[in-house]
Chain A
């Protein structure tokens, strides 16, 4: 599965233009506490969070996370999107809530982070 498949699965809207969408996505993780993410989120994973500040890009970049999904159409500032593009992190927005995003991705074969 790659990022394009994730976007389709969750009816997402890609907020970061010109970032590689063919990167593999093998695992998934959902949490809004950054230390839990640092401790438990694998590389090549999709991370679902309602946090939208600059530090989510740093966390994703440090862990080699493939893409970040922002639920419930929460707005993301252009400053954060620009940083994400620089770091080649894809940010996807969707109307779905975290529960439904995770359910759909799990059904599609995305595994929990180890």
Chain B
């Protein structure tokens, strides 16, 4: 069992584009303060932002949880639905179910999950329709 020395939870509301990005900004600020190297901070900031925007655009609300141990960072995105029917399709770059409102703002390029995976040393996604989606991103320090 890895021991996590720090854990923070950030609530992310569905459809709230005005404050969207605040959780990932907090995560980035915290990691910088802890003196974690720039490349790792950047990768976690990108993963957190994409996960946060997925919660804003696609979910019915959820949380980002950041766990920090001396060896690794773990980001968990957990939502309250609606769940993803076909994860392989959702992972494909360019595939998006974002509404027009989000696309007009430059979201919905269909790259969010792929970007998260690219930033991660370990990536895991589980989803059940009607229940919710959980994404785990591990980055080694």
Contact = CB atoms under 8 A, between A and B. Distances in A.
A51 B109 CA distance: 14
Given A54-B17, A55-B17, A58-B49, A49 B106 contact: yes
Secondary structure at the A interface, as helix, strand, loop or mixed, is helix
B127 interface: no
B77 interface: no
Contacts of A62: 21, 24-25, 28, 45-46, 49
B20 interface: yes
Q: Size range of the interface on B?
A: 20 to 34
Interface string A44-87: 00000101011101110111100000000000000000000000
B42 A38 contact: no
Secondary structure at the B interface, as helix, strand, loop or mixed, is helix
Given A38-B46, A39-B111, A61 B25 contact: yes
Interface of A: 32-36, 38-39, 43, 49, 51, 53-55, 57-59, 61-64
Interface of B: 17-18, 20-22, 24-25, 28, 38, 42, 45-46, 49-50, 53, 105-107, 109-112, 115, 118
